[in-house]
């Protein structure tokens, strides 16, 4: 782990390699929209000393009516299968928290499929709180967990999370 570096990247060639890593994801994520990924507010790469990209994660661009300045959504987390269980996802998430603070973001949130226990563990370890389960907006019947991390003391997490879930149906 000590020989892995966590760096912000804005270089198109590197971002294209990171997109390949996401495309190869072994969980059944939805196909990646490369342009949306490239438009992320910040993309963090995990690189070996040789410069190989072995993981990536992003603070997404944000959409809809929520305050894009102070609310940040995490996404696009993937670690190469050959490099897992070495703390790289945790390093990527810690770095995203650091970058979010620097960007003036006051609350981070993430949505995780109920069966993705490794990703949930990764968020909880980084200090995130589980908020609630909702049914997927895609109508697939999948349960999706919503998580948040307040980065400033006076943030009304409940109100922000309610505005983010919109009219999704809470899973019971």
Ligand X SMILES: CC(C)(COP(=O)(O)OP(=O)(O)OC[C@H]1O[C@@H](n2cnc3c(N)ncnc32)[C@H](O)[C@@H]1OP(=O)(O)O)[C@@H](O)C(=O)NCCC(=O)NCCS
Q: Which is nearer to ligand X, 9 or 116 (CB)?
A: 116
Q: Which of 119, 128, 134, 161 binds ligand X (CB under 6 A)?
A: 119
Backbone dihedral angles phi then psi of residue 69, each to the nearest 5 degrees = -70, -45
Contact (CB, 8 A) for 157 and 147: no
Contact (CB, 8 A) for 171 and 133: yes
SS3 (DSSP) at 36: helix
Q: Which of 102, 114, 121, 169 binds ligand X (CB under 6 A)?
A: 121
* Beta carbon of residue 1, minimum distance to ligand X (angstroms, whole number): 8
Q: Which is nearer to ligand X, 106 or 122 (CB)?
A: 122
* Beta carbon of residue 26, minimum distance to ligand X (angstroms, whole number): 6
Q: How many residues touch ligand X (CB under 6 A)?
A: 21
Binding mask 72-111 for ligand X (x = CB under 6 A): -----xxx----xxxxxxx---------------------
Contact (CB, 8 A) for 27 and 63: no
Residue 95 CA: distances (Å) to CA of 5, 42, 46, 76, 98:
10, 10, 10, 14, 5
Q: Which is nearer to ligand X, 104 or 113 (CB)?
A: 113
Backbone dihedral angles phi then psi of residue 57, each to the nearest 5 degrees = -165, 155
Q: Tell whether residue 125 is a contact of ligand X (CB under 6 A).
A: yes
Binding site for ligand X (CB under 6 A): 25-27, 77-79, 84-90, 112, 116-119, 121-122, 125
């Amino acid at each position: 782990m000590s020989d892995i570096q966590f760096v912000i990247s804005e270089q198109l060639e590197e971002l294209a390699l990171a997109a390949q890593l996401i495309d190869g994801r072994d969980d059944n994520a939805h196909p990646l929209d490369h342009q949306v990924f490239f438009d992320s507010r910040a993309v963090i790469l995990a690189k070996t000393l040789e410069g190989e990209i072995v993981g990536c994660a992003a603070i997404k661009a944000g959409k809809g009516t929520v305050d894009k300045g102070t609310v940040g959504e995490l996404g696009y987390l993937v670690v190469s299968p050959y490099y897992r269980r070495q703390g790289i996802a945790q390093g990527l998430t810690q770095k995203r928290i650091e970058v979010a603070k620097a960007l003036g973001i006051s609350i981070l949130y993430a949505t995780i499929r109920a069966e993705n226990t490794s990703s949930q563990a990764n968020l909880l370890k980084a200090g995130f709180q589980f908020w609630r389960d909702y049914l997927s907006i895609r109508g697939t019947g999948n349960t999706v967990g919503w998580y948040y991390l307040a980065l400033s003391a006076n943030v009304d997490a409940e109100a922000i999370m309610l505005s983010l879930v919109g009219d999704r149906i809470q899973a019971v």
